[in-house]
């Protein structure tokens, strides 16, 4: 199915730096895990363990309970952390029926002190165990976090596997652990005693003899792996940053070698959706096939270190608490910290910042600082030209306010997207002579996209502004939006393709591209055909993910002369097989601002070649008149 429309001229919108941004999280690890043979269903005896407070246990307690549930978790695995409240709910429900729960940490990267701190934060009121290495995990054949192992009174493993079938509560179909416990405490038969757990691998330090030698032994951390991680991963995977665990040392990388292999071979990490060759962008986090093969061979060969004396130094990062762009003109933050619930849907929280724009301001740079990086998915600064955000903020007792969808609750025509942050973004000042205009009277609204961590969290993110004098500005930044608003997506139909064109009415330079779709979007590609017939690829997202949006900033502004045709092609999958399908069953979908609606946009941050703000009055007036004419033409 294909739809095509052509628009000769679309408006140049008001000044802004349009940024639709991304975030990160390590999710499910899909490795070659095989079901455990039925022979291991014999009683697990003898068995001893000790909780973090020093209390000793043994298999003798089995007879005193209707069931024993060991839940293997991790302090660093985000999938495991999402299940914290569900584990507590299960324990509360089944302890009343004679079941005994133990949370077990068998992860080499977590110390006893860290596990104690984690247990206190999770408010577990039942025993938490720090395994002796992986002794308990080995005995119970646990391989991932989270993973549940349920034993009966005789010490026979009656269930091993996942807790349920979705990290999203709203999408759970099978409550596997609950069903298994229900059967065991009732003396019944578990209908599905085995389910593959989904989460982070429990690391086992195997001897080198356990791995093939061949050419794998030539790949080492020092020589081959550390340079790849330094260039692509540690910007987020280091202490205090958004990555759920650090990858700055050999031991850390070795511990997560299986996950590194899995995510890189599936090209889930690093989180960069733009296809190489379609635009030359800053901060591109892509791996070559050779680099992916190297990481895979390293993991498969036992993750050898090599010569520790030749490990390359880590990149130099800004000191904590320091702004990358230097001392700002203004630092801003919400008037109070926001409290985020442990589970549920993502939250888009809008904070009206305490700053009055009493005169027109010209901004040459913006830098964001995520407060609680475990939950901050991305940040966007909006300008509200109506003042409605102030009313919405006052009506909400918590700091900030939320509205349905991903907007700030202000009409589109009175909203300006300014700038934003996502994990891995590097702040940059505008080139000399270029800035965007912050109009007098605008309200600054900081939108923070939060994803739940499985625990109650707080956040106070902030931002910094870097101004420049009007007399130094030659060109303003504008945003050109290539939009297809005629979406009509039939339920149950995959690969519904739409096309849009726009002919540029003036010479411009493009500084960035920011595609935007919702949950049904799958592919978006934009090319520019110059008047000479030369085609320039601008951006191509082959596997669209609403949770990994990004503004792609060109290393060099792309010159696009008058008469250039921008062509956008996008495809949508409105079937049940779309893993991001928000509606069950699928329904007809058209354009709208809710995440269950759809959009088809590609924003371009541009300057107009003929605009020279410091030249003669007539030149400035002509440029502004033409821009107003384009706006009126919509």
> CA end-to-end span of the chain, whole Å?
28
pLDDT at 210 > cutoff 70: no
Which three-class secondary structure string do you get for 424-489? CCCCCCCCCCEEEEECCCCEEEEEEEECCCCCCEEECCEEEEEEECHHHCCEECEEEEEECCCCEE
- Please write the tens of the pLDDT for every residue from 43-92: 787 899 999 999 999 999 999 999 999 999 999 888 899 999 999 999 99
Buried b (16+ CB within 10 A) or exposed e, 445-483: bbbbbbbbbbbebebbbbbbbbebeeeebebbbbbbbbb
- Please write the tens of the pLDDT for every residue from 93-112: 999 999 999 999 999 888 99
CB atoms inside a 10 Å sphere around CB 492: 12
Predicted local confidence at residue 212, as pLDDT? 52
> For residue 85, which of 341, 338, 337 has the smallest C-alpha distance?
341
Least confident of 26-30, 40-44, 425-429, 432-436: 26-30
- Please write the tens of the pLDDT for every residue from 272-290: 899 999 999 998 888 999 9
| Predicted confidence band of residue 616 (pLDDT cuts 50, 70, 90) | low
In angstroms, the Cα distances linking 257 to 300, 433, 451, 471, 604 are 9, 46, 26, 54, 38
The mean per-residue pLDDT over the stretch 212-236 comes to: 83
pLDDT at 514 > cutoff 80: yes
Whether residue 242 contacts residue 236, with contact meaning beta carbons closer than 8 Å, is answered with yes
The mean per-residue pLDDT over the stretch 174-199 comes to: 94
pLDDT at 189 > cutoff 80: yes
Tell me the CATH architecture of domain 329-476.
Sandwich (2.60)
Average pLDDT, rounded, for the chain: 86
DSSP state string for 232-299: HTTTTSSTTSSSSS--SSHHHHHHTHHHHHHHHHTT-SS---BPTTS--BTT-----HHHHHHHHHHH
Q: d(Cα 452, Cα 494) in Å, to the nearest integer?
A: 30
Q: d(Cα 29, Cα 26) in Å, to the nearest integer?
A: 8
Q: d(Cα 59, Cα 153) in Å, to the nearest integer?
A: 9
Q: Where are the strands (E) in 477-534, listed by range?
A: 478-483, 488-489, 496-503, 508-516, 521-529
| Predicted confidence band of residue 317 (pLDDT cuts 50, 70, 90) | confident
Range 404-411 contact pairs with CB under 8 angstroms and sequence separation of 24 or more: 404/593, 404/594, 405/348, 405/593, 405/594, 405/595, 405/597, 406/348, 406/449, 406/593, 406/595, 407/593, 408/350, 408/382, 408/384, 408/445, 408/447, 409/350, 410/382, 410/384, 410/385, 410/386, 410/445, 411/386
**Ranges 6-10, 24-28, 260-264, 593-597, most confident:** 260-264
**Which tokens hold the place of 242?**
């958004």
Whether residue 483 contacts residue 601, with contact meaning beta carbons closer than 8 Å, is answered with yes
Predicted local confidence at residue 478, as pLDDT? 87
Least confident of 122-131, 401-410, 484-493: 401-410
- Please write the tens of the pLDDT for every residue from 234-271: 988 988 787 888 999 999 999 899 889 988 998 888 88
**Which tokens hold the place of 360?**
């027109």
Task: Count H helices and E strands in the chain, helices first.
Answer: 11, 31
Backbone angle region of 390, left / alpha / beta, with phi > 0 → left and psi within -120 to 50 → alpha: alpha
Whether residue 254 contacts residue 246, with contact meaning beta carbons closer than 8 Å, is answered with no
pLDDT at 525 > cutoff 80: yes
- Please write the tens of the pLDDT for every residue from 247-256: 999 999 998 9
SS3 for 6? Answer: strand
pLDDT at 520 > cutoff 80: yes
Topology at the third CATH level for domain 38-198: Glutaredoxin (3.40.30)
Burial of residue 217, with CB atoms counted within 10 A of its CB: 0-12 exposed, 13-18 middle, 19 or more buried? middle
pLDDT at 18 > cutoff 50: no
SS3 for 10? Answer: coil
Tokens 């995510």 map to which residue?
A: 263
In DSSP terms, 105 is beta-bridged to 73, 130
1-15+478-634 and 329-476, same CATH topology:
yes
SS3 content of the chain, % helix, strand, coil (to 5): 20, 30, 50
pLDDT at 605 > cutoff 90: no
**Ranges 14-18, 381-385, 478-482, most confident:** 381-385
pLDDT at 202 > cutoff 60: yes
Whether residue 194 contacts residue 36, with contact meaning beta carbons closer than 8 Å, is answered with yes
pLDDT at 475 > cutoff 60: yes
The mean per-residue pLDDT over the stretch 130-153 comes to: 95
Q: Where are the domains of the chain?
A: 1-15+478-634, 38-198, 208-310, 329-476
> Residue 35 contacts by C-beta under 8 Å, 6 or more apart in sequence?
194, 196
SS3 for 509? Answer: strand
Write down the pTM of the prediction. 0.74
The mean per-residue pLDDT over the stretch 358-381 comes to: 91
pLDDT at 124 > cutoff 80: yes
The mean per-residue pLDDT over the stretch 601-625 comes to: 75
Residue 349 host element (H or E): strand 347-352
In angstroms, the Cα distances linking 511 to 272, 302, 551, 604, 612 are 18, 44, 10, 7, 17
Q: d(Cα 377, Cα 295) in Å, to the nearest integer?
A: 27
407 vs 138 pLDDT, higher one: 138
**Which tokens hold the place of 206?**
């195997």
Topology at the third CATH level for domain 1-15+478-634: Jelly Rolls (2.60.120)
In DSSP terms, 605 is beta-bridged to 479, 512
Whether residue 160 contacts residue 141, with contact meaning beta carbons closer than 8 Å, is answered with yes
CB atoms inside a 10 Å sphere around CB 426: 12
Whether residue 530 contacts residue 263, with contact meaning beta carbons closer than 8 Å, is answered with no
In DSSP terms, 574 is beta-bridged to none
DSSP state string for 57-71: EEGGGGGGSSEEEEE
Backbone angle region of 257, left / alpha / beta, with phi > 0 → left and psi within -120 to 50 → alpha: alpha
**Which tokens hold the place of 451?**
């994803």
Considering the chain, what percentage of its residues have pLDDT values greater than 70? 88
Task: Please compute, for residue 326, the number of CA atoms within 13 A of its CA located in the half-sphere on the CB side.
Answer: 7
């Amino acid at each position: 199915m294909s739809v095509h429309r052509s628009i000769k001229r679309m408006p140049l919108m008001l000044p802004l730096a349009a940024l639709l941004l991304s975030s990160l999280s390590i999710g499910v690890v899909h490795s070659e895990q095989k079901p455990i043979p039925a022979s291991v269903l014999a009683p697990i005896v003898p068995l001893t363990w000790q909780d973090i407070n020093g209390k000793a246990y043994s298999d003798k307690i089995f007879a005193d309970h209707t069931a024993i549930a060991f839940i293997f978790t991790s302090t660093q695995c985000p999938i495991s952390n999402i299940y914290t409240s569900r584990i507590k709910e299960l324990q509360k429900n089944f302890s009343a029926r004679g079941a005994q729960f133990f949370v077990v940490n068998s992860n080499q990267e977590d110390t006893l002190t860290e596990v104690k701190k984690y247990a206190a934060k999770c408010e577990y009121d039942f025993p938490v165990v720090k395994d002796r290495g992986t002794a308990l995990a080995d005995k119970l054949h646990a391989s991932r976090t989270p993973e549940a192992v349920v034993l009966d009174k005789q010490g026979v493993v009656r269930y091993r596997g996942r807790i349920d079938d979705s990290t999203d509560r709203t999408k759970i179909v099978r409550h596997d652990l609950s069903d298994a416990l229900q059967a065991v405490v009732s003396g019944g038969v578990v209908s599905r005693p085995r389910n593959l757990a989904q989460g982070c691998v429990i690391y086992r330090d195997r001897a080198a003899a356990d791995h093939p030698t061949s050419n794998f032994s030539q790949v080492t951390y020092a020589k081959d792996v550390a340079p790849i991680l330094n260039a692509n991963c540690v910007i987020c995977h280091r202490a205090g940053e958004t990555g759920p665990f650090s990858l700055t040392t050999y031991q850390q990388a070795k511990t997560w070698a299986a996950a590194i292999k899995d995510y890189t071979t599936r090209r889930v990490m690093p989180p960069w959706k733009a296809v190489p060759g379609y635009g030359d962008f800053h901060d591109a986090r892509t791996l070559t096939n050779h680099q992916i093969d190297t990481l895979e061979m390293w993991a498969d060969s036992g993750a050898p270190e090599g010569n520790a004396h030749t490990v390359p130094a880590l990149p130099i990062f800004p000191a904590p608490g320091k702004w990358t762009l230097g001392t700002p003109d203004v630092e801003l933050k919400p008037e109070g910290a926001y409290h985020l619930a442990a589970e549920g849907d993502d939250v888009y929280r809008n904070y009206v910042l305490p700053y009055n724009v009493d005169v027109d301001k010209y901004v040459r740079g913006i830098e964001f600082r995520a407060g609680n990086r475990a939950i901050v998915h991305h940040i966007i600064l909006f300008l509200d030209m109506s003042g409605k955000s102030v009313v919405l903020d006052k009506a909400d007792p918590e700091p900030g306010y939320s509205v349905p969808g991903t907007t700030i609750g202000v009409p589109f025509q009175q909203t300006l997207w300014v700038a934003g942050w996502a994990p891995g973004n590097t702040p940059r000042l505008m080139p000399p002579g270029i800035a965007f205009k912050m109009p007098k009277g605008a309200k600054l609204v900081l939108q923070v996209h939060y994803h739940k961590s499985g625990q109650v969290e707080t956040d106070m993110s902030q931002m910094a502004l870097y101004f420049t004098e009007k007399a130094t500005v030659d060109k303003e930044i504008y945003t050109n939006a290539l939009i297809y608003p005629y979406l009509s997506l039939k339920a149950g139909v995959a690969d519904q393709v739409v096309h849009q064109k726009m002919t540029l009415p003036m010479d411009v330079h493009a500084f960035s591209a920011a595609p935007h779709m919702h949950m049904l979007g799958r592919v978006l590609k934009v090319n520019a055909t110059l008047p000479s017939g030369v085609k320039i690829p601008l951006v191509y997202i082959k596997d669209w993910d609403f949770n990994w949006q990004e503004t792609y900033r060109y290393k060099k502004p792309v010159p696009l002369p008058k008469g250039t045709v921008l062509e956008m092609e996008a495809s949508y999958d409105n079937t049940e097989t779309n893993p991001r399908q928000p509606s069950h069953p699928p329904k007809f979908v058209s354009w709208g601002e809710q995440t269950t609606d759809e959009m088809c946009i590609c924003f371009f941050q541009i300057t107009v070649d003929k605009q020279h703000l410091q030249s003669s009055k007539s030149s400035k007036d002509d440029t502004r008149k033409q821009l107003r004419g384009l706006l009126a033409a919509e």
